[in-house]
């Protein structure tokens, strides 16, 4: 068994080298396909981060009447936090609101002056509510309406911004869905291209497979070297694809002097640092994908010529 | 050693390739199967090596009932046979040495034996100095000698040669036939399918004549006669 296995591996390497033209073409296509896969992953990462960023910007504020007791507000906060749709609730007391207001108008003496002349705090306490999903704000606003809280609540910002929030919510879910569909389609195309390339390479070997059968080679012995060839091709392609990605990420900042052109500006996110941070993982996925698709394609493609 | 019992082969379209073929081959025999192109010679050989199944009848080779062998049993069965084809059928990406060694590798023979046997056999067919040449660097006669070396290197009990001289000039034809005779003298059963009158008359061995899918003559020390 060991002799057979070592012969299969040896033949696989030898055939890969002897058919260097076909091997090169196959590796080139595999590399491109893996490159496309990596591109899809990056596109998804960017989209997800962009979506999360936009999602995070959306919230609704519940403003309470000036004299509402803090206990009641905190009770409402607690009940809101228990809702499954709610991600977080932030309480801003009237005093905090005043601080924030003052800080943001620190350079405007007339406003500061008029506030101090007023003597009392004109600002209302509020709860900032963030939903897990933008489409859930309707439910949350509905909940606040249904609880008979009108004696405390002055207004809920949702009713003012409803159109914008709803539009953003549907945009986000469309981008999400469209992204997934596009990714699946492109991944399928790349997979098919890989499969087809290997299929063609083996098709050009069909006579040889027939000869091997007649000489008395078992299916295992015929198929083995082709699978080894596929594994070599897939592994090489994943290394090459990673090298191309590295070159891309290393040279892009030089080409675009202004870094921002390449690195899409989402606060707290940089594709370049994402790439370097996940370098090992990206390589591993590419390696597994390349080797698996190539080996399985070889297995299936040879099968067709092992019939008699 | 080989028995064809009431063998018929009818293709899907209804064309009859073989009809009620019966013959036996004894160990160490040299038998020629002759007939015009399309008479059914190649079909007999394809049935014998299990490339096709007969529509009717049974074929025995040693303990094997060939017509009943499954796809996975065929490789082991074929290692008892060496086959030489008209179009050589060498592996184009392997050199002469590797082509011959392949027949031993598939049988799982140890490397030491392969290193010993392959040069010996290539020497015997007169290609000791062309072991590293690839098929496209060899002449027709040389290719056929590599094919013969591959067919005999694993010491099969039977060698089948299907029109082995069909693509060769008269000089190479004689060389190949002499080689086959020599292999037969060393104890290997030989089946030769041919439509070459010269060869048959030169051999003076058993001749099985096929015409339109039927055996019309089976003679010891036969001649090539077709009406």
Q: How far is residue A143's CA from residue A135's CA, in Å, rounded to a whole number?
A: 14
The model's confidence at residue B100, banded by pLDDT at 50, 70 and 90, is very high
pLDDT of residue A283: 94
This complex has an ipTM of 0.87
Q: What is the DSSP letter of A156?
A: E
pLDDT in tens, A19-35: 899 999 999 999 999 99
Q: CA-to-CA distance for A205 and A12, rounded, in angstroms?
A: 13
Q: What is the nearest CA distance from A293 to chain B, expressed in angstroms? A: 25
Least confident of A250-259, A269-278, B109-118, B185-194: A250-259
Q: Is B157 on the interface with A (CB under 8 A)?
A: no
B71 contacts chain A (CB < 8 A)? yes
pLDDT for res A106: 79
Q: What is the pLDDT of residue A257?
A: 60
Q: How far is CA B76 from the centre of its chain?
A: 17
Q: Whole-angstrom Cα distance, residue A93 to residue A106?
A: 20
Q: What angle do CA A124, A58, A92 make, to 5 degrees?
A: 25
Residue A264: band (very low, low, confident or very high) from pLDDT cuts 50, 70, 90: low
- State the best of B50, B91, B136 to mutate against chain A, taking most chain A CBs within 10 Å: B91
Q: In what order do the strands lie in the sheet with A86-92?
A: A86-92, A126-131, A60-64, A153-156
| B14 three-class SS | coil
pLDDT band, very low/low/confident/very high, at A114 (cuts 50, 70, 90): confident
CA distance B6 to chain A (A): 23
The mean pLDDT value for B151-156 works out to 93
CA distances in angstroms from B62 to B59, B65, B155, B157, listed in the order given: 10, 8, 15, 10
Binning pLDDT at 50, 70 and 90, where does residue A263 land?
low
Task: Quote the minimal CA–CA distance from A287 to chain B in Å.
Answer: 28
Contact between A263 and A272 (Cβ < 8 Å): yes
Q: How confident is the model at residue B58 (pLDDT cuts 50, 70, 90)?
A: very high
Nearest to A216 among B51, B52, B107 (CB): B107
Chain A residues with a Cβ under 8 Å from any Cβ in chain B: 3-4, 7, 15, 18-19, 207-208, 210-219, 221, 306-308
Asked if B61 contacts B156 with a C-beta cutoff of 8 angstroms, the reply is: no
pLDDT at A256 (0 to 100): 66
**Domains of chain A by range and CATH?**
2-54+171-303 (no CATH), 59-160 (3.30.70.3040)
Task: Tell me if chain A has a CB within 8 Å of the CB of B120.
Answer: no
Inter-chain CB proximity B91 and A212 less than 8 Å: yes
Taking an 8 Å cut-off on Cβ atoms, the answer to whether A216 and B52 are in contact is no
CA distance A14 to chain B (A): 9
Among the listed residues B4, B176, B216, the one whose alpha carbon sits nearest the alpha carbon of residue B84: B176
Give me the CATH topology for the region B1-80+156-227: Rossmann fold (3.40.50)
Nearest CA in chain B to A3: B108
CB contact under 8 A, B78 and A221: no
Least trusted range by pLDDT, from A4-13, A37-46, A278-287: A37-46
Residue of B73, B95, B101, B102 best to disrupt the A interface, most CBs of A under 10 A: B102
**How do the domains of chain B map onto residue ranges?**
1-80+156-227, 91-155
Identify all chain A residues contacting B71, using CB atoms and an 8 Å cutoff. Answer: 219, 306-308
A195-244 pLDDT, tens digit per residue, is 999 999 899 889 999 999 988 899 999 999 999 999 999 999 999 999 99
């Amino acid at each position: 068994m060991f002799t057979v296995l070592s012969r299969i591996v040896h033949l696989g390497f030898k055939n890969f080298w002897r058919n260097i033209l076909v091997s090169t073409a196959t590796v080139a296509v595999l590399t491109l396909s893996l490159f496309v896969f990596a591109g899809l992953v990056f596109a998804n990462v960017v989209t997800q981060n962009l979506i999360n960023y936009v999602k995070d910007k959306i919230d609704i504020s519940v403003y309470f009447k000036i004299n509402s007791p803090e206990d009641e507000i905190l009770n409402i906060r607690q009940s809101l936090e228990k809702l499954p749709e709610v991600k977080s609730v932030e309480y801003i007391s009237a005093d905090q609101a005043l601080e924030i207001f003052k800080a943001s108008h620190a350079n405007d003496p007339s406003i500061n002056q008029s506030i101090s002349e007023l003597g009392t705090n004109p600002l209302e306490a509020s709860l900032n509510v963030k939903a897990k999903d933008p489409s859930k704000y309707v439910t949350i606003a509905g909940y606040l309406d249904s609880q008979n809280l009108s004696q405390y609540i002055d207004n809920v910002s949702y009713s003012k911004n409803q159109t914008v929030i709803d539009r953003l919510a549907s945009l986000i879910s469309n981008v999400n869905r469209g992204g997934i569909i596009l990714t699946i389609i492109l991944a399928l195309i790349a997979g098919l291209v890989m499969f087809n390339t290997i299929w063609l390479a083996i098709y050009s070997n069909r006579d040889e497979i027939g000869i091997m059968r007649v000489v008395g080679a078992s299916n295992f012995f015929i198929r083995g070297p082709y699978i080894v060839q596929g594994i070599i091709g897939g592994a090489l392609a994943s290394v090459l694809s990673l090298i191309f990605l590295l070159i891309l990420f290393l040279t892009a900042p030089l080409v675009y002097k202004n870094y921002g052109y390449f690195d899409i500006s989402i606060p707290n996110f940089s594709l370049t640092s994402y790439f370097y941070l996940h370098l090992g993982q990206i390589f591993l996925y590419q390696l597994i994908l390349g080797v698996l698709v190539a080996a399985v394609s070889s297995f299936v493609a040879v099968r067709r010529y092992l019939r008699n | 050693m080989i028995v064809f019992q009431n063998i018929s082969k009818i293709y899907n379209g209804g064309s009859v390739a073989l009809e009620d073929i019966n013959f036996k081959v004894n160990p160490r025999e040299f038998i020629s199967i002759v007939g015009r192109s399309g008479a059914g010679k190649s079909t007999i050989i394809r049935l014998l090596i299990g490339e096709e199944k007969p529509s009717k009848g049974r074929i025995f080779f040693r303990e094997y009932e060939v017509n009943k062998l499954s796809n996975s049993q065929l490789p082991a069965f074929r290692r008892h046979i060496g086959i030489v084809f008209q179009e050589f059928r060498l592996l184009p990406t392997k050199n002469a040495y590797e082509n011959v060694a392949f027949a031993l590798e598939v049988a799982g023979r140890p490397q030491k034996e392969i290193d010993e046997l392959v040069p010996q056999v290539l020497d015997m067919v007169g290609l000791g100095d062309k072991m590293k040449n690839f098929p496209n660097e060899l002449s027709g006669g040389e290719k056929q000698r590599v094919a013969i070396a591959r067919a005999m290197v694993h010491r099969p009990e039977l060698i089948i040669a299907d029109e082995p001289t069909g693509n060769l000039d008269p000089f190479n034809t004689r060389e190949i036939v002499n080689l086959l005779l020599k292999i037969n003298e060393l104890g290997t059963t030989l089946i030769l399918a041919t439509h070459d009158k010269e060869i048959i008359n030169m051999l003076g061995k058993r001749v099985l004549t096929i015409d339109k899918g039927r055996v019309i003559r089976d003679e010891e020390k036969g001649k090539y006669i077709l009406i």
